[in-house]
Amino acid sequence: MRYNALMPADISPLRYDLHSHSLASDGTLTPSDLVRRAHGAGVQVLALTDHDETSGVAEAQMAAKGVGLQLVAGVEISVTWGSMTIHIVGLHIEPDAPLLLDGLTRLRKFRDWRAEEIGRRLAKHGIPGAYEGALRYASGRIVSRTHFAQFLAAEGHAESTRDVFKRFLRRNKPGHVPGEWATLEEAVGWIHAAGGMAVMAHPARYDLTATRRRKLLGEFVECGGEGIEVVSGSHSRDDCISTAQYARQFDLLASAGSDYHGPENPWMELGRLPPFPDNATRPIWESDRWLEISARSALPLSVAGVA
């Protein structure tokens, strides 16, 4: 059950949405269309956080200027932690920062190899052509498991993309390839080197025991991570409340993001994020660091250069 679906109509939604995807990764809208849709839905501050990719940010920023929305340059970095894949969102990053660019290039190389390997494994399992099919859905951008899911669902190998993940792409399934993404330390380091803030994405989605969850959050804080998604499109109401407790325990700022991927997923819409639960820590956008970065980026370039 989704928190979004539970939000009573008389509660006004958050105007911040700090997690979204465009065609630059596995979303289905162009960065401009995403920004315009967010603006139309009442979002005032939107972060574009494509998987391991920042190429959509420039277009999103242009579109944001056009409609008067504040666009936060972001990224969602894939991390391997033990045998798990964890996602770390970077907010207010400089998309051209060399360390971040190099890191993301490495991850995209692994992504390309992994896509071929998924294709080989599915072919052995009796489904030929999945790599080529996924490439068509990716249309020249990064290849995600989402694109495999779209192809396999369209070809009738499963009822829905969700079903494809369950049957083919998860651990112990025929198309699963273990990750070799960034380490937690690298991801946070790249984000900081690009001047940004690091946020643990959708923590309730990771299948972890309480002990392991505390270990993950402890390591994240040790690396210098600043925030955690308390409100997420993939959190139930109880998930939001329990994540807020973890945020308090680990002194992490509260973030909120829909994880919007496009209108095909109507259960996760823009502009409908519920407010933080009462036990939440300070919103990340009220932190000194956030305000400092926002003030700097609002200055004319020449002044910002001197400061």
Residues 215, 200 contacting (CB under 8 angstroms): no
Q: Mutual orientation of helices 130-138 and 145-154 as an angle, nearest 10°? A: 110
- Name which of Mn ion, ligand AMP, none residue 165 binds, using a CB cut-off of 5 to 8 Å depending on partner kind: ligand AMP
Site for ligand AMP in 150-189 (CB under 6 A): 161-162, 165
**What percentage of the chain's residues is helix, strand, coil (to nearest 5)?**
45, 15, 40
For residue 152, the minimal CB distance to ligand AMP (Å) is: 12
45-48 vs 253-257, strand pairing mode: unpaired
Residues 140, 112 contacting (CB under 8 angstroms): no
Residues 131, 115 contacting (CB under 8 angstroms): yes
**Which residue type sits at 279?**
N
Among 19, 37, 121, 145, binds ligand AMP (CB under 6 A): 145
Site for ligand AMP in 26-85 (CB under 6 A): 26, 51, 78
Site for Mn ion in 195-224 (CB under 5 A): 201
- Listing DSSP states for 1-39 in one string gives --HHHH--TTSPPPSEE--B--TTTT-SS-HHHHHHHHH
Among 138, 234, 259, 260, binds Mn ion (CB under 5 A): 259
Q: Does 147 bind Mn ion (CB under 5 A)?
A: no
28: left (phi over 0), alpha (psi -120 to 50) or beta: alpha
Q: Does 26 bind Mn ion (CB under 5 A)?
A: yes
Among 144, 242, 243, 255, binds ligand AMP (CB under 6 A): 144
Query: Across the strands, what pairs with 92?
Result: none
x-or-dash string of contact with ligand AMP, 12-31, rule CB under 6 A: --------------x-----
Q: Does 87 bind Mn ion (CB under 5 A)?
A: yes
- Name which of Mn ion, ligand AMP, none residue 161 binds, using a CB cut-off of 5 to 8 Å depending on partner kind: ligand AMP
For residue 53, the minimal CB distance to ligand AMP (Å) is: 11
- Name which of Mn ion, ligand AMP, none residue 17 binds, using a CB cut-off of 5 to 8 Å depending on partner kind: none
For residue 115, the minimal CB distance to ligand AMP (Å) is: 8
Q: Which residues bind Mn ion (CB under 5 A)?
A: 26, 76, 87, 201, 259
